[in-house]
C-alpha cells in the first residue's frame, strides 16, 4: 500500500468521498455529512488530504484534516479537524485507517496545529474504537453536528506541535 497526499477535488478523492457519503446515508437513515467543505481547506499548510492506493493503484482509503484558526462552533484556535476517514469494505482490517491517522497527525503537528479533533457518530463503532485506541478522548461537541444527539466528538493533543513563528 502507498499513501499519497492528494488534492481533495482529485477524481480518486471524489470517488472515495461519494462512497463514504453512501456509507453515512446507509448508517444514518439517508443523511450524509453535510458539513461544508471545499478543496482549499485541505491544501498545505492549512490542511492535508491523503489517499491510500493498493498494489494495483486502486484508491482504497482516505482521510484529511483542515485547520481552524478561530474559536467558533466549539473549535479551539489551533485545531486540526479530521474529515472523511474512510476505507473501502474490501480493504478493511489491514490497518489502513490507523496508518492514515498517524500520517494526518504527523502532518498537523508539522504544520503547528495544537490539537487534533474529530466528530463521528454512535452508528460508527469502528471509528470510535480506532480513535479511542489511538489516544483520542471525548471532548465538548463542536462543528456542524454539535446539536445532534448521536454525535460524538473526540480530541487529542498534538504534543510537540510548534506554532509557526514561535
Answer yes or no: pTM beyond 0.85. yes
The conformation of residue 154, written as its DSSP 8-state character, comes to: E
Q: Which long-range contacts (CB under 8 A, 24 or more apart) does 107-110 make?
A: 107/44, 107/48, 107/65, 108/48, 108/65, 108/80, 108/158, 108/161, 109/158, 109/160, 109/161
As a whole number of angstroms, the distance between CA 59 and CA 46 comes to: 23
Q: Which CATH number fits domain 2-157: 3.40.630.40, 3.40.50.720, 3.10.310.10, 3.40.630.30?
A: 3.40.630.30
Listed by start position, the domains of the chain span: 2-157
Cα–Cα distances in Å, from 40 out to 48, 54, 55, 65?
Answer: 10, 26, 29, 11
Reading the chain (166 residues) residue by residue, the pLDDT tens digits are: 899 999 999 999 999 999 999 999 999 888 778 778 899 999 999 999 999 999 999 999 999 999 987 667 678 888 999 999 999 999 999 999 999 999 999 999 999 999 999 999 999 999 999 999 999 999 988 877 777 788 899 999 997 655 444 3
Amino acid at each position: 500500500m502507498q499513501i499519497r497526499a492528494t488534492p481533495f477535488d482529485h477524481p480518486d478523492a471524489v470517488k472515495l468521498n461519494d462512497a463514504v457519503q453512501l456509507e453515512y446515508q446507509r448508517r444514518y437513515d439517508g443523511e450524509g455529512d453535510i458539513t461544508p467543505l471545499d478543496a482549499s481547506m485541505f491544501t498545505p499548510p492549512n490542511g492535508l488530504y491523503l489517499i491510500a492506493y493498493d498494489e494495483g493503484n486502486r484508491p482504497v482509503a482516505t482521510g484529511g484534516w483542515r485547520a481552524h484558526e478561530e474559536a467558533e462552533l466549539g473549535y479551539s484556535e489551533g485545531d486540526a479537524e479530521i474529515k472523511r476517514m474512510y476505507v473501502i469494505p474490501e480493504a478493511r482490517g489491514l490497518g489502513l485507517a490507523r496508518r492514515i491517522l498517524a500520517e494526518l497527525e504527523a502532518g498537523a503537528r508539522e504544520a503547528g496545529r495544537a490539537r487534533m479533533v474529530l466528530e463521528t457518530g454512535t452508528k460508527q463503532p469502528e471509528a470510535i474504537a480506532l480513535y479511542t485506541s489511538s489516544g483520542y478522548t471525548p471532548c465538548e461537541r463542536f462543528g456542524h453536528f454539535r446539536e445532534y444527539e448521536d454525535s460524538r466528538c473526540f480530541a487529542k493533543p498534538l504534543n510537540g506541535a510548534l506554532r509557526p513563528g514561535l
